[in-house]
Amino acid sequence: MQAGGGGLSAGSFAELSTFMKDQQVLLEKQQMLLLEQQKEAKRETDQARQDAEAKVEAKMETRMEEQRQQMQEQKQQLEEQRQQMQEQMREQRQQIEELKAPQEAISAQQVEALTARLEAMHAAKMLSDDELFAVEDCVADFVEARASCEVVTMETVNTNRAVGKAHKLVALAEAMPGDAMFARQLRRKFV
């Protein structure tokens, strides 16, 4: 019995040993399969992470490009506004310069019109020679005073007696359309 029993024990041990080896191989295969699955899961996770990062990066790039475009548009608008403001400032400076420019109180055309009217009144015997000469002296004094300044302003009218007198003479001539009335006022005020 022992021999048979020993054979059985030896057979059981061999079977057990084969079973254990088979289990060992199976376990190693399962471990390798598990490692492969883990590696595949890691690759998939890494790929998913890379895809997510790429999407986030693409979104960020899109947002940054949109912001760049908005900034470029704002820069363009600001440049246009700056140019408009500069143009407005140039126009305002020009207006200020025009306002600052001395305003002529008596123009050359007014003096020419006055002398032509005086000569016509003298020719019509409304003014005597002496009266004409007295008024012409006022005009000559004005012309002499005007030669000493670029523009005859109201300040010059108020500070220079000859210019002030000529200014009154021009104002009177323009305000009085009738020659007879004008001749009487010339005699009263300037002769």
DSSP string for 102-118: PPPSS-HHHHHHHHHHH
> What is the number of alpha carbons within 13 Å of residue 154 lying toward its C-beta?
3
pLDDT digits (tens, 9 = 90+) for 34-82: 889 999 989 999 898 998 899 999 999 999 999 999 999 999 999 999 9
pLDDT digits (tens, 9 = 90+) for 126-162: 999 999 999 999 999 888 888 888 888 888 888 888 8
Global pTM exceeds 0.75: no
Contacts 24+ apart (CB under 8 A), 13-18: none
**What confidence tier does 2 reach under pLDDT thresholds 50, 70, 90?**
very low
For the chain, the domains span 108-190
For the stretch 100-109, pLDDT in tens is 777 888 888 9
C-alpha angle 101/104/108, rounded to 5°?
135
